[in-house]
Structure 1
Amino acid sequence: MNFSITQIASAFMVFFPIIDILGSIPIVLKIKEKDKINAFQTCTVAFIILVVFLFAGNWILDLFNVNIESFAVAGALVIFIYAIEMLLDIEIFKNKGPEGSASIVPLAFPLIAGPGVFTTSLSMKASYDVENIIIGLLLNIIFVFIVLKSTDKIEKIFGQGGIYIIRKFFGIILLAFSVKLFAENLSSLLH
C-alpha cells in the first residue's frame, strides 16, 4: 500500500467540485419535499457504486458495449432534466418507486455518483494509487453526509425565498454543466 497525503489531498480536491454537493442543495431540498432522504443510505450506496466502478468500470462498460462517452452523455441528459425542473418549476422526474427510494435514485446515482466522477476516477488510475483515490472519494462522501444531514438547517438559514433564488441560480449552473458534459462527450462519440 502506497498511502500518499499529497495524492489523497489532490484526489479529494479533484472530486469535490465534480460531486458538488453544495451546488446540489436545491435539488436535495426539492427531493425532500416529495420523499424522505436517508443520508447514510445515500452515502453508502454512492460510495459502493464509486468503488465498484473504480475497479470494474471499464469491464462493465465493455460488457454492455458502451464507452465512457456514451455513459457521460446519458448522465448529462438526466442532469439536464433536473436543471429544467429547477428553472421552470415543473416536475418531469416522478419518483414512482417505494418511499425512500429517492435516496438511491436520483440522489446516490446519478447526482453524487455520476458520469463526471466515474470518468475522473478511471482517468486518475493512470497517475494515482487506487487506495489514495478511494480515500479521496471517502472524504468527499463524508462531506456529502454532513451536508445531507444539515439541509434543514441550511433551509432555515436561507428561508423559502433564498432557497428559491439559489435553486434558480444552480439550475442555470447545472444546465450549463449538463450541456458542457453532453457536448464534450458527444463530440468524442462523433469523431
Structure 2
Amino acid sequence: MTFQFDLRQIATSSMVLFAVIDILGSLPIIIGLRKKVGHIQSEKASIVAACLMVAFLFVGEELLKLIGIDVNSFAVAGAFIIFFLAIEMILGITLYKDDQPESASIVPIAFPLIAGAGTLTTLLSMRAEYHVENIIVSIVINIIFVFIVLKSSARIERFLGKNGVNVIRKVFGVILLAIAVKLFTANINELFNK
C-alpha cells in the first residue's frame, strides 16, 4: 500500500473544508452557546467531529453503493450543496436554518456545526477528486484549527470584531463558489462519459 501525499491536494482540500466548516462564521453561535451554558467542551467536540468525518470518508461510499448511487452523482449533488452554502456566506442570507442548539455538548458543536451535512457531503465529493490520505491530513489540519477557535472564541471575537468575521466569511464564500463550479463540471463530465 503506497501513500500518495500531495501538498497541492492537501492545501486545496484543507481550504475547501475550512470554507465548508466555516468555524469563523459560526463564531456568533459558539459565543451564544458559551454565554448560555458557560462552557464548551472543545476537546470532545473536536475529537468527535474528526471521528465522524474520517468514518464518513470511508463508510460513506459503501453506504452510497448500498443504495445504488455512484460517487460522481453524489459529487454533483455535493456541488449544489456547496454552491448554496457559498451563496449563504456571500450574500449573508440563511437558506437553511437548524433549530437553535440548547446546550454546548458534543451534539450541537461536533454535529451539525462542524461535521454537518455540508461537510460530510463535501468529504465524499472530494473523494472523487483527491487521494484519501490527503483528505485525512486536511481533516486533521482543520480539526486543529477548529479546536483553537473553540478554545479562544471570545478572544477571536474581540480581535476581529463583527466586520472582520463578515469579511472572512465572504472571502471564503467566493472561494467555495469557485470550488462548487469546479466540482460540478469535473463530475458532470464523468457522468456523461459513462
Q: Same fold (TM over 0.5)?
A: yes
Between the two proteins, the alignment pairs up a number of residues equal to 184
Per-residue deviation, residues 21-45 of structure 1 (Å, max 9, x unmatched): 6982443235447767764454334
**In 2, Cα distance between equivalents of 1:162 and 1:187:** 38
RMSD: 3.9
Which residue of 2 is the match for residue 80 of structure 1? Answer: 83
Q: 2:53 aligns with which of 25, 42, 50?
A: 50
Whether the aligned pair in 1 keeps the contact of 2:87 and 2:173 (CA below 8 Å) is: yes
Whether the aligned pair in 2 keeps the contact of 1:29 and 1:151 (CA below 8 Å) is: yes
Range with bigger deviation, 87-96 or 22-31? 22-31
Range with bigger deviation, 15-24 or 176-185? 15-24
Q: 1:27 aligns with which of 25, 38, 46?
A: 25
Matched, 1:68 2:71: yes
Shift of the 164–133 alpha-carbon distance from structure 1 to 2, 3 Å rule, reads closer
Matched, 1:108 2:115: yes
TM-score, normalised to structure 1's length? 0.69
**In 2, Cα distance between equivalents of 1:146 and 1:161:** 21
Superposition pairs of residues 1-191 of structure 1, within 5 angstroms: 15-20=13-18, 24-29=22-27, 31-32=29-30, 39-96=42-99, 98-99=101-102, 102-103=108-109, 104-116=111-123, 119-120=126-127, 124=131, 137-138=139-140, 140-191=142-193
Identity of aligned residues (%): 36
Stretches of structure 1 lacking an aligned partner (at least 5 in a row): none
Stretches of structure 2 lacking an aligned partner (at least 5 in a row): 35-39
Amino acid corresponding to residue 173 of structure 1 in structure 2: I
Structure 2 residue matching 1:27: 3-state secondary structure: coil
Whether the aligned pair in 2 keeps the contact of 1:75 and 1:110 (CA below 8 Å) is: no
Range with bigger deviation, 172-181 or 146-155? 146-155
